[in-house]
Amino acid sequence: MIQPPNIQDLPVLKASREIDIRFSEVDSMSVAWHGSYMLYFEDAREEFGRQFGLDYHLIFNSGYYAPMTDIEFHYRNPIVYGQRVRIDITYCPTLSAKIVFDYEIHDVATDEIIATGHSVQVFIDRDRQLVLYNPPFYEEWKKKVGIVF
């Protein structure tokens, strides 16, 4: 029986994106509205896609969609208007037909963690049917970046 490698033997795929908090993202107290965090995580996913070649065009052009099925946020400190933050995104390898990420939002000035999070995306085909196996393009991408079980 072939044993899969230990998770710690796989490469760590991590990207970061810095942003300035805009006026349109905050409430009357100048605190980032909770719904903005989903946009910050989306910004990080797009940056990850650019750096590692797993962008939404690849998924779509391969005949699939990758809807979000689970997303969570853990707030530690408020984000305020004008603050510069860095969103770190880390790919979480899995055997399942899913794209899983962990997130940390840091204050750029202090490196303090402001929030953490986690997301899960699944694959559906063009008929919007859940795909229970890793699509061929995703298997190829995993091999290309060294995520081989």
User: What CATH code is carried by the domain that includes residue 130?
Assistant: 3.10.129.10
Identify the DSSP state of 23: G
Q: Is 60 exceeded by the pLDDT of residue 4?
A: no
Q: What is the pTM for the complete model shown?
A: 0.91
95-148 pLDDT tens trace: 999 999 999 999 999 999 999 999 999 999 999 999 999 999 999 999 999 998
Whether 93 maps to a domain, the answer reads yes
Average pLDDT of every residue of the chain: 94
Closest to 116 (Cα-Cα) out of 83, 71, 67: 71
Whether 42 maps to a domain, the answer reads yes
Where in the chain does DSSP place strands (E)?
14-20, 64-65, 68-75, 84-91, 98-107, 113-122, 124-125
Structural domain count, the chain: 1
Whether 6 maps to a domain, the answer reads no
pLDDT confidence of residue 6? 67
Whether 24 maps to a domain, the answer reads yes
Domain that holds residue 60: 11-145
Whether 4 maps to a domain, the answer reads no
Identify the DSSP state of 82: T
